[in-house]
Amino acid sequence: MKRNTWQREAVRTALATAEGFVSAQALHGALRETGSTIGLATVYRALTDLTEEGEADSLQQEGEALYRACTPGSHHHHLICRRCGMTVEIEAAAVESWARGVATEHGFTAAEHVVDVFGLCPQCTVDARQQ
């Protein structure tokens, strides 16, 4: 486990208060707005560490890494709005069963998986229909 510095704690706190998934640049901007002197490279390093330690989720969207605080040690999946970024953690027992079965069928052990489902949230669906 990495040493907990003030910069890392600032990134952890900012990520915990962010809505949905955010980019490192957006998080850096939010930190700077509060008067923080933290550098962008430090934000990237802290996000990478938090992701590796299970305190943050990351995903790639349109070639950019996005991050979200999560509950450490909990395996979960997401519904993510393509328009506004709203994210909902979901249970997916059927996915878990399918992943174990496919891995076993092909002789794989210690298999892991990531499942993110993208769509439009209820509000963005309404907004899209009104346009």
pLDDT tens digits, residue range 57-113?
888 888 889 998 887 667 778 888 888 888 888 888 888 899 999 999 999 999 888
Q: What's the confidence (pLDDT) of residue 86?
A: 82
Task: Look at residues 34, 35, 75, 72 and name the one whose alpha carbon lies nearest to residue 55.
Answer: 72
Q: What's the confidence (pLDDT) of residue 104?
A: 96
Is the model's pLDDT at 10 over the cut of 80? yes
Q: What tens digit of pLDDT does each residue of 17-31 get?
A: 998 789 999 999 999
Task: Look at residues 76, 87, 77 and name the one whose alpha carbon lies nearest to residue 120.
Answer: 87
- d(CA 32, CA 121) in angstroms, rounded, equals 30
Which of 74-78's residues contact partners 24+ apart within 8 Å by CB, and which partners?
Answer: 77/114, 77/115, 77/116, 77/117, 78/115, 78/116, 78/117
Q: What's the confidence (pLDDT) of residue 116?
A: 83
